[in-house]
Structure 1
């Protein structure tokens, strides 16, 4: 079905005279279907000729909502978990976190695979509404079991957000502005900031203490937080569906041999910018159909294995895919371990973490999460530096995170704790924000949803492992802290070894 070697595609230099940027199509290295690679070049040419329009600007915010909601919901769980546990006294203290991990895992697989089968548009619109409904319902849970069930369902929708946000935005983006995919990760910090600011007054003023009998009467803050943030996500989902309407990805449509719709959508974007459609149906039809899909019916389950196989078409792409999977898995373990172990470790070493009040705790959460916004902003600038690009920006972010994690073990005062937390938040998001953008850039376009799903699913699995370790391990041991820091050193090495550098290239 596939040729043994990827087709080499030459970019029209007259049409894309952008200096060092867009020197070639990355699809010439990662796509193995010749017809798809040639059609992808034509679509990339058309999108580049139209340029960055108001539609891409809308997508920046539209997709940013997904970034924000994903981080918002994860932090919502973390912030409310202590008060939920005080009220219901669960046997497994980390069951709520495990429920989130399970929901995110299955959500990533379901929505990611679905995006390659049924398209980006429907999955993209459903996920946010799904999150809103179950986040709100979770606030009314009558027991701990219901809390865990509804949170898992909420996370199931959230698991698809980040899978689709990067893929959809990238597939409409002119190559000159691919750096903004990294910059878009600042929405992750915005979501955390909103969650922290909403939770702060509710949890500080409507929460019981550990020595009290906790009931709905004196411990309703966590419920108010769920209601408020669930309603906020519902408003965002309405904006997605009714105000800023998503067009189906032309690059996904290419993989489905729906050339007429590709030309129509490119035309709509061009006309909205006051330009002529640079793409014609004759150009696409002259190349012929995408033969890779000829053996599959639309809803044949074997198409899933076709998409998985498409992530490993040759040695170089296989090497890249495996490094991406390893990176996502390792950071999925390292960062939760940092969150789980560090407070207990510092406490066992005599660190004064503050006055212990709920107010101070959630104030510090809010401050740290505001700082996280700056990581992707810094990364968005670094990825376009000639001698850095995506790979070395990730190396820098990972090494800085490792350094400050090692140094964090000397913390002994509240001010030191807050300062180090803020610095680590910035450095970590330099790495994380770049990885979120890098992965879809180097995945074959026809299998991008599946690739995102698998890499993020590995991240979620390791997050569940971290929660289990945090439940049963010795939290006062220093070993997990050093393992966590060393993991970021390994992530820096993985980044250095990545075979593709998307800077100066156009993605598939």
Structure 2
């Protein structure tokens, strides 16, 4: 491999970085937080060498381990979200809180703070430590939440549990992507199937516990007759704890070579790439001399422990108009879906109930049976998306548009539901279509973010999503839940999401993210 790199072969984000010569000179004069042109060119050229080396090695057992272990992280995040949703009614019956959605608000606040803290932290201290800590954190506080003596304690521990979960999801996609050969990036979309697995596990665990160990609405609920929600927390928290141990002792995660490049730790980059190649019995032509011949990446002129370094990473998401436009559309998409999906979950049951629809016997058993069926169906959305993103004329953008438009269609049609069978069928259809969109968006966002600032970019997009989750919970607490307007608002939001998908400037299909 020669030292000359053809910039036309760089990934979309890297192409923009190399052509950043139009960047305003006044921004270059900022002494502490310069997004330096030479820094971008140097990092992009080094990134191309690393991408070539990863593509040369191919998909190995190491990436396969990451698919499962990072996939467990996906599953855990969805499991924790559903854990809160499934247990909330019985917790509220036992403690009779003044604010019925306080548990959901605590979850949203924890996810928001966790996304910001762990996402930005991953760009400062690296991916490895944050990746290993977050899952363990989730498991401990999930178990402790099950032993809560009162409602305030439940909310506090759920918020702490979510603080770990908020960072976990951000890191899962970033780490897997940064070790992935370009021709296998479709598997990042496919990996979102683990989200459905997490929902399925949570639903199947909660079903017997909540069906057999829960009090009825007219009962006086105590620990003696309402312990099902506690058993659910203990069981699922223990599952997450086991997964956190597997993540540390089975995979022994290596630090991301693309993050190390941004820190001028070239020798470690070569060592990690060579170790992956040797373990797989493959040859790798990457050498330290190749990387050093390009020169060092210019570092920000401040300590990495200075809080202001976060501003440097935020600026790195807007190096020029095209990348900035892409970042803005990602933020807008995550914000919209963060409002539309929770609103659908909050309003639809009340809307149907207000219309006098017959949706089954209303028993706890039937409710959690339907939850389990719907969540099994959600697994198929990312699987379908993983196939569609590899169709040349569809790619990531049109796959997201298809998923959003189908979700919109089924939401509009849902207002005509009158029977239990129709309710279950439409819920299953929406679950599949929604996860076609969501699974692709989860993969697309880290693919088009600059690698050195990917953690911060993921943090901001997901944080906007979490803010809207909290807003949806507040609306669900104080709004008129019998109106049909929110159903149509949610459907219209998915139509807008489809439009945003068409407007994205980058299509990662056929390219290696850089």
TM-score over 0.5 (shorter chain): yes
Indicate if the aligned counterparts of 2:13 and 2:323 stay in contact, CA closer than 8 A: no
Q: Secondary structure at the match of 1:31?
A: helix
Whole-Å Cα distance in 1 between the matches of residues 447 and 467 of structure 2?
23
Indicate if the aligned counterparts of 1:9 and 1:25 stay in contact, CA closer than 8 A: no
Does residue 67 of the first structure (1) align with residue 74 of the second (2)? yes
* Residues 293-326 of structure 1: CA deviation (Å, up to 9, x unaligned): 1423232222110000000110001100000000
Q: Paired residue for 1:166?
A: 173
Find 2:11's aligned residue among 25, 30, 45: 25
Q: Paired residue for 2:374?
A: 368
Whole-Å Cα distance in 1 between the matches of residues 213 and 6 of structure 2?
63
Q: Secondary structure at the match of 2:465?
A: helix
Offset at residue 9 of structure 1 (A): 5.8
Indicate if the aligned counterparts of 2:10 and 2:48 stay in contact, CA closer than 8 A: no
Q: Paired residue for 1:100?
A: 107
Q: Paired residue for 1:401?
A: 407
Give runs of aligned pairs for residues 230-249 of structure 1, distance below 5 A: 230-249=237-256
Whole-Å Cα distance in 2 between the matches of residues 278 and 88 of structure 1?
63
Whole-Å Cα distance in 1 between the matches of residues 203 and 69 of structure 2?
22
Whole-Å Cα distance in 2 between the matches of residues 214 and 499 of structure 1?
55
Q: Paired residue for 1:309?
A: 315
Offset at residue 28 of structure 1 (A): 2.8
Find 2:134's aligned residue among 96, 119, 127: 127
TM-score (norm 2): 0.94
Q: Any stretches of 5+ residues in structure 1 without a counterpart?
A: 1-7, 13-22
Indicate if the aligned counterparts of 1:379 and 1:393 stay in contact, CA closer than 8 A: yes
Indicate if the aligned counterparts of 1:24 and 1:504 stay in contact, CA closer than 8 A: no
Offset at residue 30 of structure 1 (A): 4.1
Give runs of aligned pairs for residues 29-428 of structure 1, distance below 5 A: 29-31=15-17, 33-291=40-298, 293-428=299-434
Does residue 10 of the first structure (1) align with residue 16 of the second (2)? no
Q: Paired residue for 1:20?
A: none
Offset at residue 84 of structure 1 (A): 0.1
Offset at residue 24 of structure 1 (A): 4.3
Indicate if the aligned counterparts of 2:56 and 2:284 stay in contact, CA closer than 8 A: no
Q: Paired residue for 2:21?
A: none
Offset at residue 162 of structure 1 (A): 1.1
Indicate if the aligned counterparts of 1:247 and 1:265 stay in contact, CA closer than 8 A: yes
Offset at residue 199 of structure 1 (A): 0.1
Whole-Å Cα distance in 2 between the matches of residues 108 and 490 of structure 1?
25
TM-score (norm 1): 0.95
* Residues 397-452 of structure 1: CA deviation (Å, up to 9, x unaligned): 00000000000000000000000000000000000000000000000000000000
Q: Paired residue for 1:440?
A: 446
**Number of residue pairs aligned between Structure 1 and Structure 2:** 490
Whole-Å Cα distance in 1 between the matches of residues 300 and 474 of structure 2?
45
Q: Secondary structure at the match of 2:393?
A: coil
Find 2:473's aligned residue among 435, 449, 467: 467
Indicate if the aligned counterparts of 1:182 and 1:436 stay in contact, CA closer than 8 A: yes
- Note closer, same or farther for the CA distance 1:174–1:341 as it changes in structure 2 (3 Å cut): same
Q: Secondary structure at the match of 2:373?
A: helix
Indicate if the aligned counterparts of 1:79 and 1:199 stay in contact, CA closer than 8 A: yes
Offset at residue 349 of structure 1 (A): 1.1
Identify which range, 240-249 or 214-223, moves more after superposition.
Answer: 240-249
- Note closer, same or farther for the CA distance 1:439–1:30 as it changes in structure 2 (3 Å cut): farther
Whole-Å Cα distance in 2 between the matches of residues 457 and 496 of structure 1?
23
Indicate if the aligned counterparts of 1:250 and 1:265 stay in contact, CA closer than 8 A: yes
* Residues 131-159 of structure 1: CA deviation (Å, up to 9, x unaligned): 00000000000000000000000000000
Whole-Å Cα distance in 2 between the matches of residues 289 and 390 of structure 1?
34
Indicate if the aligned counterparts of 2:14 and 2:450 stay in contact, CA closer than 8 A: no
Indicate if the aligned counterparts of 1:398 and 1:491 stay in contact, CA closer than 8 A: yes
